[in-house]
Structure 1
């Protein structure tokens, strides 16, 4: 029954993009399907405008929620910003400083959130990855965040506020990592598990076994199909974990009686062995019934190969699989697991190269559109970063693909496309599956009459007529994607596709259109 209902939901979702046979016949009868592309005339290479844009803010590990007509962004280092267009952000909080009004008691005596972790290597305090929700039961805004002082000595905390902009009042520390036998009494493990609990499984040679257990950072909250609240978290170390949250208190429900979960850390979703996977964020799609897990691989520096991957599951507790149906565990070749949505890339119209996208989160807006936001570095010799927001769509197989450019309010075509609409030169970026500093440059391909030629690979393409679905086959690899019209960051009108491959690669294709 569950599989049947999921199929029905996916069919319903696809139908909103599909013209009925009667409607299509009526369109043909009225002459609306004249020869040539309905998108517009292709621009010549020398007509492509180069440029870019800035969002006027910097926010690491961004998360967005909406209240009324305003979008709010929270992230690491006590940053808060807001806007109304998902592009130009204005700070209302910035910096780990007692003068920052985002908190009212975090950086005052007794510094309770830092009791265990202490100060960082810069002799300051680290406050990372703030995730804010409105808890309907508590009637409070609740912020989950982490404090840390090393690659594994970290805590998860939460704070509450009556207003979305704060001030937030630190409530408690709920989860610890990076302890050893000598200082485990400084944590809450015995409070949760009992004073006589055997905690040897968390230790190795008297220290914390971080290859098996999580680094307690990067929390994010979601609600499942049954209204239960969950927190996913983790970075490298033992992988990505999940705990249920009690909506009446904001505290975790520690699964002490669940044999399928650790009684303190909860459910392991993916990863382990201190391989890169961090910044987890789970998005539930009520229309197809899947839970989508987005994570970052690689190192966050501009040349560190940072990138965004995707898995999905039928249940919040997993298993989470990639396009090939595989689950990531403690694998040395973890780069082969998870759909790579984006990495380092550039297009002919960009006057810079995008590097190391990651620290992502997602949200569904009031109109049903899905977005992914993340911090973005550049190939400019610095570690400066800005948040970006791209719209996401589900392909024919129900995998999310991201638009190639930052959102400007675009909407998918209601009438869909036909094969002849996809014709001419498309600049294609294949994001690959590598974790490296390699820059994926766009390669010019010719699309004509269902054939793809002119590049290093060749193949075919099909458009599901009357929809925005496209299937591209290159050298035997099948990529299923979505067609979209939008404006790029140099203000060129563009006709694009974003397609997910059965080899965990993503293709972005861009055709530049003449301005009318």
Structure 2
């Protein structure tokens, strides 16, 4: 399998973009069997960006085709409040109805950079293909009045099926508030909700892009958030909670609302950051993810930038695998199709690997290093939870790990990959070296 080559230069024709120029993405599957990606109306090197939520479709989560915008620019009430020129960070989901009739909700954000004058609005449709009809603001904030910011919406349903809106960013952190199960609007209009994540002023409170999933396998909620700047230093962090309103704790038991630690990077388990494997592209600022399921399989979709030209961004999809202790970690390689994850025959994990240490304090590109990995597992790519021993420079590291198949874009073949947590709560990930 050979992935499509990237054009040498930017083009104003969105039908040539594929997954390029997709920012703040979310992915759903329609009743027609087609995958739909919705994203911020952003692009680089383009004279006229189509205004309104961008929509792409795919038959396989690998090849994406731009098909237009879900809304024609900024809806009137959101525009009147914010003066926004475009729409950010759409959240799209199938909404439960009493009679089972298809109904889809889109929560979009309208704002401007550096401002708390923002709106999260709701649009509805009978299908993710549209047409979408604006239903008006769900949450609104004003810069000189409110301490929080009405952007970056996501919805999660608790154990009882009650919907909750997670939202927020820099300026006051991440909040969650209950929604009316029938209308999709706030149960109590004007309510801020419960604070579930924040960061200290020393890093400008840099947390945004929240997304929560309920994991029935562990009977707990997982919060994904992005730390730092979307332009060059994003990383994805996770924390878990027994209740949808928190507290959300990282792998070391620290709450994501804890700003007392002198190290602003110490709270939150980092599962994805800037990285590079030998011969491959150096990627930076992966973030603003959402999560979706395909049957029992879990996927993470996020945007990311090229280190050699950070203005160029694209969406990538990665498989999510869960360790024996219940921590969701992601593949070091983007998803390239089901067949691209199976090796011709089972292999031992013992051998030489290209390993990335996801140092929570590092904001640039973390280059992989060649390390020996030991373990008892043999697999052809089927995910296996297993302890791994990484022979690192400072001594052996024992990881609570998952080994699985992935597509190596440089070797152009399936390889074994892993992701795992060490005793300090830090994540390591790797791709098995391919013999020449």
1:434 alignment partner, one of 342, 361, 372: 361
Give the gaps of 5 or more residues in structure 2. Answer: 7-16, 42-52
| Secondary structure of residue in 2 paired with 1:113 | helix
1:300 corresponds in structure 2 to 230
| Secondary structure of residue in 2 paired with 1:265 | coil
In 2: Cα distance, 1:89 partner to 1:283 partner: 25
1:347 alignment partner, one of 246, 271, 277: 277
Cα distance, 1:463 vs structure 2: 4.8
Q: Deviations over 1:426-480 (max 9, x none)?
A: 11111111252x2211111123xx4xxxxxxxxxx56599944233365475421
In 2: Cα distance, 1:51 partner to 1:250 partner: 39
Q: Is 2:40 the partner of 1:76?
A: yes
> Does the Cα contact within 8 Å between 1:347 and 1:442 map onto a contact in 2?
yes
1:471 corresponds in structure 2 to 388
Higher strand share goes to which structure? 2
Q: Is 2:436 the partner of 1:509?
A: no
In 1: Cα distance, 2:396 partner to 2:370 partner: 19
| Secondary structure of residue in 2 paired with 1:326 | coil
Seen in structure 2, the aligned counterparts of structure 1 residues 179 and 429 have a Cα distance that, compared at 3 Å, is closer
Cα distance, 1:272 vs structure 2: 4.7
Seen in structure 2, the aligned counterparts of structure 1 residues 313 and 107 have a Cα distance that, compared at 3 Å, is closer
1:498 corresponds in structure 2 to 419
Cα distance, 1:171 vs structure 2: 1.0
Cα distance, 1:245 vs structure 2: 1.2
User: TM-score, normalised on structure 1?
Assistant: 0.71
- Spell out the pairing of 1:188-207 with structure 2 (5 A cutoff): 207=145
Cα distance, 1:488 vs structure 2: 1.4
| Secondary structure of residue in 1 paired with 2:304 | strand
In 1: Cα distance, 2:239 partner to 2:104 partner: 29
Aligned length: 395
1:240 alignment partner, one of 174, 187, 198: 174
> Does the Cα contact within 8 Å between 1:50 and 1:348 map onto a contact in 2?
no
2:293 corresponds in structure 1 to 364
- Spell out the pairing of 1:166-177 with structure 2 (5 A cutoff): 166-177=130-141
In 2: Cα distance, 1:344 partner to 1:406 partner: 13
> Does the Cα contact within 8 Å between 1:337 and 1:504 map onto a contact in 2?
no
Give the gaps of 5 or more residues in structure 1. Answer: 1-48, 94-99, 120-124, 181-206, 256-262, 451-460
> Does the Cα contact within 8 Å between 1:477 and 1:503 map onto a contact in 2?
no
In 2: Cα distance, 1:514 partner to 1:244 partner: 53
2:156 alignment partner, one of 213, 217, 222: 222
In 1: Cα distance, 2:435 partner to 2:247 partner: 46
Seen in structure 2, the aligned counterparts of structure 1 residues 400 and 422 have a Cα distance that, compared at 3 Å, is same
Q: Is 2:24 the partner of 1:56?
A: no
Cα distance, 1:504 vs structure 2: 3.7
> Does the Cα contact within 8 Å between 1:413 and 1:468 map onto a contact in 2?
no
2:91 alignment partner, one of 131, 141, 155: 131
2:194 alignment partner, one of 264, 267, 291: 267
> Does the Cα contact within 8 Å between 1:338 and 1:504 map onto a contact in 2?
no
1:160 alignment partner, one of 116, 124, 127: 124
1:483 corresponds in structure 2 to 403
Higher helix share goes to which structure? 1
Over the aligned positions, Cα root-mean-square deviation in angstroms equals 2.8
User: TM-score, normalised on structure 2?
Assistant: 0.83
| Secondary structure of residue in 1 paired with 2:250 | coil
Seen in structure 2, the aligned counterparts of structure 1 residues 386 and 503 have a Cα distance that, compared at 3 Å, is same
Cα distance, 1:61 vs structure 2: 0.5
> Does the Cα contact within 8 Å between 1:371 and 1:391 map onto a contact in 2?
yes
